[in-house]
Amino acid sequence: MLKALSSAVTGLNAQRTRVDAIAVDLANIAAAGYKRNRTRFAELVSQEIEKQGIPVAAEGRPARAGSGVRAESADKVLLAGETVKTERPFDLLIEGEGYFRVVLPGGEEVYTRNGCFTYDKEGNLYCSSGYRLEGVSLPEGWDKVIVSPDGRVSAEKDGSVIDAGQITLYRFSSMAALKPAGSFHFYLDEEAGEAIPGTPGSEGFGVIRQGYLETSNVDLTGEITGLIEAQTVYGFNARSVRIVDEMWGMANNLRK
């Protein structure tokens, strides 16, 4: 009975992890560039069942009893989301491969597909999380900002066009090197791969479209289906715990 209880508890914990991941996805379904979570499960140690004179399996194929399941990992699905037109000058979409690199206040560098940017009085661009985009510095008093498909940033001021920088995109020698750093960003595990910089539109990189955003890749139907599945499995495991508790009660009463 202890093994049955342990298996049920591991199932409860695993499905709780899945439900938590789905809840985060649903909360960020409208967030630009958000990548949905994917929970992977792994079976715990299984043991061969001794026959003890009982035909529990076909000859040569011993039956095994599992010890439960655990949530092995929760990684990100990196597929691109849909394209939405906003006409806002600092909304930038990467059409194709590549990531923006932004700098945290402490100097750490992270990567994102979230192209919803704003600017400060010093002319720096910041993503919606408040991290600075590299390579761009707008002049004071600009009238209009133009971002070309190849990442060149120009500012119109008093009838003149001023170079305001170049946006560089990054791809990776192995996508496994990208590790989640919050809801919208990834840090690079340098032991697993390297970041490869490039100009938008060059070989292996997408182009930049000004006035567009990439939506999240969360599929509402898929998430609701997953939530129902997780709740159903959770219910089965909770019922197993209740049955084990009842069996324990019966066993204790027999001793009396």
Provide DSSP, 167-189: --EEEES-GGGEEE-SSSEEEE-
- State yes or no: pLDDT of 207 exceeds 80: yes
The answer to whether 77 and 35 have CB atoms below 8 angstroms apart is: yes
* pLDDT, mean of residues 21-46: 83
Output the pLDDT for position 172: 94
Backbone angles phi, psi at 145, to 5 degrees: -120, 135
Reported confidence tier of residue 29, pLDDT bands at 50, 70, 90: very high
Distance CA 140, CA 120 (A): 10
- State yes or no: pLDDT of 99 exceeds 90: yes
Residue with structure tokens 């006035």? 211
Burial 237-252, CB ≥16 within 10 A → b, else e:
beebbeebeeeeeeee
* pLDDT, mean of residues 221-235: 91
What letter would DSSP give residue 116?
B
Most confident of 57-61, 67-71, 171-175: 171-175
Output the pLDDT for position 14: 83
**Residue partners of 105: CB distance under 8 A and separation at least 6:** 130, 131
* pLDDT, mean of residues 107-136: 94
The answer to whether 6 and 67 have CB atoms below 8 angstroms apart is: yes
- pTM attached to this predicted model: 0.77
The stretches of the chain forming alpha helices (DSSP H) are 2-27, 220-255
- State yes or no: pLDDT of 138 exceeds 80: yes
